[in-house]
Structure 1
């Protein structure tokens, strides 16, 4: 009883300064989300899915004030993209491209006031489904209180990706963003994300992928040492449809990325991958839950972390195979490269299978740089730091290989190399 009351008290303090809007087509969904949130309360360190990550920075009444801002050049500056810019959690019209691209209709959440809107059938729906069997109260908080985001309806195959750029200029900014992506049958889209939206970020993305559609997602985050970031991506995947997501995380005070996917159509696939680098007082958490509910579906979870000087990496990954989901192919690998004795990797891989004709595997390892490989490179005249960088990039290669677009993969590799160069100075 005391624990439940403490959660309710924490919730009251967290939402005291937030604006709740029950008007328009979002109103009923927001009201339902608030009811779910009130019933759950905010997460605490003793909750099963928060055992390895202290949620305190994400649930405190006020975010920590950012004092160190490390501005970097846009990661995808050389790619032809439609750019949408958010500053301090608000859409910036002046810095964004016009909301026009063939095969796509785009709207901004705060400006989508029509009583009848296509997003009414998606906004908050996948988040609600994702609350079982694991409660995700901070995702419900997002649905209830997010005032900004982008609504993307994909009907064809646009000629270029959509790039979401997050900028922060206000110390202590508390950004809550909610995106919806609806993929019609046979459509295809690449969605890029980069930057830091505030001192504390709560971001939810819901993706509904119809039969035969393909969705590619690439995200780059981190670098700001005092910021805390929580992301959820909820995906519903139809028959012969494909979902692919890759996240690069570099430093950041606290980062937790959750991915919740349902394979509902036969012959569909879901791939989730991540490459993380952290040094010092850095905590990086990837939590994935993939449900196989159809036949002949494939899922891959590939996560690699490089940790140094006391950084902490966490991976929690689950594959749930429901009864009747025969011919499932589920693969999960999580590995950490510990560059010193002070860093830590915590892993919790899970399989729950109710079908008898499946191929599922998981593995998790951590260790230091291979001294034999390092000696081989040194004996060929490669300097020590360069040899270490080569081995780190080789370690991350399997995760980066999940990116289909070669230009994007090269940009990610270049940014990882830049991180290594910076931290060797």
Structure 2
């Protein structure tokens, strides 16, 4: 289908979706950004399966006017990261729960609810809200679902790190309604030389849209570790948009345990010399209804910057994994070091891994590489473990954990990495 014929379908879908939504009241300084985002959605339309970066993932359930239902599951495990001292901020079906949340006072950090920040005449968040999401260094890529979120998300948090945070902040998402349709928008500003660790956990909602805009100033460091809910029929689309200053660091890791449809988009711009950006993820999917999509765009627009993408997916019983990623090196971004790897472990012949790695380079002094592979379990390694008395199911789990190890190594905090590994091991055990 040509773009000319496709556009009316996308606009029609946008009109139906917009008719079911209402712009938040009392948006204050965010009103202008919301209206601009609304105009972008109306012009772009909502994504269609025939769009270039949606051809592997059907967005129909994400753009439908009415959210599909998702059954609730009982989870008898303790909270993830429970042994780690952290500030807990809880959202239930996309709404802030003050009673379940901790006191938001934290040394080295300012934390506010988005709706409260919007009521203040002068606020630093005004320079970020909808700004990073709307930036389009990779101009051929439309992001209408992110713009839709900017226009309509009524809740979220606004976080400003002014020094080294004394403990991590944990955004906890709870799902208590089978028909919840939630949107959250978070803003993070890491000031010069500051350091912040942000954790995200939980299934969030039946249909969940989240945008997080992250601005890391010179010498700042932002560490992000996310675990998306286990054994849940959720549908989720998330967008993380980051801008990095000189000698700054951005590191993000996501672990996904099941779900029906998950699409995680990450866009990072390295705008200051000597900046570092690492984006990594691991997922384990079981069943033909499981569909997991990582779409990543990294733009190098400064000298001597490093980017690293490491993604691993374990798929079985007809599950589908998608990896789309592009490294764009702008003119003048010399001495760029860009690395990209995506790998899948297919535990049966019914599962599939769809990959589209890309490099676009306009500088001549660079070291950029990408690779993508798919394969089955190592039969020699499996035979070795079985010959030493390890049952086949347990041996398969051990090899699966080993395969995912490279991605887990991207988590700098060993306590967080170990907690992730323990939960992953438990998930695999329950799925034997």
Fold match, TM over 0.5? Answer: yes
Matched, 1:201 2:208: yes
Counterpart among 320, 331, 337 of residue 323 in structure 1? 331
Output the TM-score relative to the length of structure 2: 0.96
> Taking structure 1 as reference, are residues 150 and 357 closer, same or farther at Cα in structure 2, changes over 3 Å only?
same
Conservation of the 8 A alpha-carbon contact between 1:130 and 1:260? no
Aligned to 2:393: 385
Give, in whole Å, the separation in 2 of the partners of 1:81 and 1:17.
37
Matched, 1:48 2:45: no
Counterpart among 307, 316, 333 of residue 315 in structure 2? 307
Give, in whole Å, the separation in 2 of the partners of 1:278 and 1:351.
28
Give, in whole Å, the separation in 2 of the partners of 1:88 and 1:95.
13
| Cα drift, residue 2 of structure 1 | 4.2
| Cα drift, residue 129 of structure 1 | 0.3
> Taking structure 1 as reference, are residues 187 and 28 closer, same or farther at Cα in structure 2, changes over 3 Å only?
same
Matched, 1:374 2:382: yes
Counterpart among 405, 413, 419 of residue 411 in structure 1? 419
Give, in whole Å, the separation in 2 of the partners of 1:228 and 1:15.
19
Give, in whole Å, the separation in 1 of the partners of 2:136 and 2:80.
31
Give, in whole Å, the separation in 1 of the partners of 2:109 and 2:339.
33
Aligned to 1:34: 38
Output the TM-score relative to the length of structure 1: 0.98
Conservation of the 8 A alpha-carbon contact between 1:313 and 1:344? yes
| Cα drift, residue 45 of structure 1 | 0.1
Give, in whole Å, the separation in 1 of the partners of 2:382 and 2:185.
45
Conservation of the 8 A alpha-carbon contact between 2:10 and 2:47? yes
Matched, 1:156 2:163: yes
Alignment of 1:54-73 (within 5 A): 54-71=58-75, 72-73=77-78
Runs of 4+ in 1 over 6 A off after TM superposition: none
> Taking structure 1 as reference, are residues 234 and 33 closer, same or farther at Cα in structure 2, changes over 3 Å only?
same
Aligned to 1:104: 109
Conservation of the 8 A alpha-carbon contact between 1:68 and 1:224? no
Aligned to 1:86: 91
Aligned to 1:146: 153
| Cα drift, residue 21 of structure 1 | 3.4
Aligned to 1:117: 123
Aligned to 2:250: 243
Q: SS state of the match for residue 173, structure 2?
A: strand
Gaps of 5+ in 2: none
Q: SS state of the match for residue 70, structure 2?
A: coil
Give, in whole Å, the separation in 1 of the partners of 2:224 and 2:19.
34
Give, in whole Å, the separation in 2 of the partners of 1:361 and 1:131.
20
Listed one character per residue, the Cα deviations across residues 175-208 of structure 1 (whole Å, up to 9, x for unaligned) are 0000000000000000000001110000000000
| Cα drift, residue 267 of structure 1 | 0.6
Conservation of the 8 A alpha-carbon contact between 1:256 and 1:285? yes
Conservation of the 8 A alpha-carbon contact between 1:212 and 1:238? yes
| Cα drift, residue 69 of structure 1 | 2.0
Give, in whole Å, the separation in 2 of the partners of 1:28 and 1:131.
22
Give, in whole Å, the separation in 1 of the partners of 2:430 and 2:19.
41
Matched, 1:12 2:20: no
Q: SS state of the match for residue 54, structure 1?
A: coil
Give, in whole Å, the separation in 1 of the partners of 2:406 and 2:243.
25
Counterpart among 3, 8, 13 of residue 6 in structure 2? 3
Aligned to 1:230: 237
Coordinate RMSD, CA, aligned: 1.1
Aligned to 1:214: 221
| Cα drift, residue 380 of structure 1 | 2.2
Counterpart among 187, 204, 211 of residue 180 in structure 1? 187
Counterpart among 281, 301, 306 of residue 293 in structure 1? 301
Q: SS state of the match for residue 333, structure 2?
A: coil
Give, in whole Å, the separation in 1 of the partners of 2:379 and 2:196.
42
Listed one character per residue, the Cα deviations across residues 366-416 of structure 1 (whole Å, up to 9, x for unaligned) are 010000111111222222122111110000000000000000000000011
Q: SS state of the match for residue 226, structure 2?
A: strand
Q: SS state of the match for residue 36, structure 1?
A: helix
Aligned to 1:399: 407
Conservation of the 8 A alpha-carbon contact between 1:297 and 1:328? yes
Give, in whole Å, the separation in 2 of the partners of 1:284 and 1:370.
23
> Taking structure 1 as reference, are residues 323 and 131 closer, same or farther at Cα in structure 2, changes over 3 Å only?
closer
> Taking structure 1 as reference, are residues 130 and 178 closer, same or farther at Cα in structure 2, changes over 3 Å only?
farther
Listed one character per residue, the Cα deviations across residues 14-55 of structure 1 (whole Å, up to 9, x for unaligned) are 122222137411000001111111110000000000010000
Listed one character per residue, the Cα deviations across residues 260-299 of structure 1 (whole Å, up to 9, x for unaligned) are 0000111111000001000001000000000001111100
> Taking structure 1 as reference, are residues 403 and 235 closer, same or farther at Cα in structure 2, changes over 3 Å only?
same
Listed one character per residue, the Cα deviations across residues 224-263 of structure 1 (whole Å, up to 9, x for unaligned) are 4421010000000011100000000011000000000000
Give, in whole Å, the separation in 1 of the partners of 2:313 and 2:265.
16
